[in-house]
Structure 1
């Protein structure tokens, strides 16, 4: 069956509407698309919903203003806009909601959370390099589970003997941990200057440092 072409009836400009009604319609379109999407919606997608004379940033700002008294908000994570419940209601939601497999950071154990955080800082990074960082072996099972949950993926082969695999974080990592991009990670240079990313066999400093930087996330099950 041939695929249908673009919907030519869709009018992003809405020139026939009075300015105030046109603006409200643009706001409604943008919020509806973000609300309906399970993933963050990129700016270039939202730009197709509004007219050429419309400033998308102003539309987003007006939506955020109207949501100030609501228990949810629009946030920019993983390269797009997403509806999120406000953090102060997290405990109330957990009280009545059964955890769902694959739903987010609560699926990660303490060790898995620290490994994926280290990968975010050091990517692309090999399993051997991660093991050296933590002063103990990072198992293949941990890497496999993080890949299965789509927190990490395969990076380029490392330029060293044997060309081992490297690992990088995914957009799901950014979305779940609430980062717009990797630039939002806590400053790794400050950790390096403090010597917290140079582990020794006698200390667990890198684990403690990464844990402090991101704070507790999910249940510790190790």
Structure 2
């Protein structure tokens, strides 16, 4: 095992997080990047804390999300940076967003339970879209006749919305505070956080 200076360790971790294309944990940094070096988890955490501080007040930040650490443009620049992307952010129907919210807040939940709360049928296209985005997965089956699938959110959902856990979801508004219109026709925009 080789030793490594603090400066080189910080530079190497910074470069790895910059090019990784996915969040990295302390363990993945240690096992994939620093395998040949004598580095403790505590030392890697200190480097991540230092990098987080170094990027404060800049255009990008080092964030901890559910799957690890990643660099991300700060939220206040998202509207201006959207001009750099040729593709527009996907537009999601209100029905899809309501279904996703119900899964996030009530998980694990069945399709029938979602329909009961929303008062309308949930199309298979909505569940398919959420599954293809890897925001939702089947986590089991409810022990009732027909054994319907139980749905829950994934770490990819948390990562997309820059959350480390479901506890960071905003508090639900009471139903009386919402003005619910036509569930399936009002489009809603969800913009990329990166």
Query: TM-score when scaled to structure 2?
Result: 0.80
Q: Is the 8 A contact 1:114 1:207 kept in 2?
A: no
Q: Which has the higher strand share?
A: 2
Alignment of 1:39-118 (within 5 A): 39-48=22-31, 49=34, 51-52=39-40, 54-99=42-87, 106-118=90-102
Structure 2 distance, partners of 1:43, 1:53, is 6
> In the alignment, is residue 218 of structure 1 matched against residue 185 of structure 2?
no
Structure 2: state its 5+ residue gaps: 182-187
Question: Could you say if the C-alpha distance between residues 53 and 115 of structure 1 is closer, same or farther in structure 2, counting changes exceeding 3 Å?
Answer: closer
Alignment of 1:1-222 (within 5 A): 11=2, 13-14=3-4, 22-48=5-31, 49=34, 51-52=39-40, 54-99=42-87, 106-187=90-171, 194=174, 196=175, 205=178, 218=190
Cα distance per residue 1:68-120 (max 9 Å; x no partner): 243111001123001100111111111232226xx7xx453332122112111
SS at match of 1:46: helix
SS at match of 1:155: strand
Deviation, structure 1 residue 42: 1.6
Deviation, structure 1 residue 217: 5.0
Structure 1 segments, 4+ long, off by >4 Å, are 203-208
The residue that corresponds to 2:184 in the other structure is none
SS at match of 2:149: coil
Structure 2 distance, partners of 1:147, 1:82, is 23
How many equivalent pairs are there? 180
SS at match of 1:166: strand
The structure with the larger Rg is: 1
Q: Is the 8 A contact 1:134 1:204 kept in 2?
A: no
Deviation, structure 1 residue 207: 6.4
Structure 1: state its 5+ residue gaps: 1-9, 15-21, 197-202, 209-215
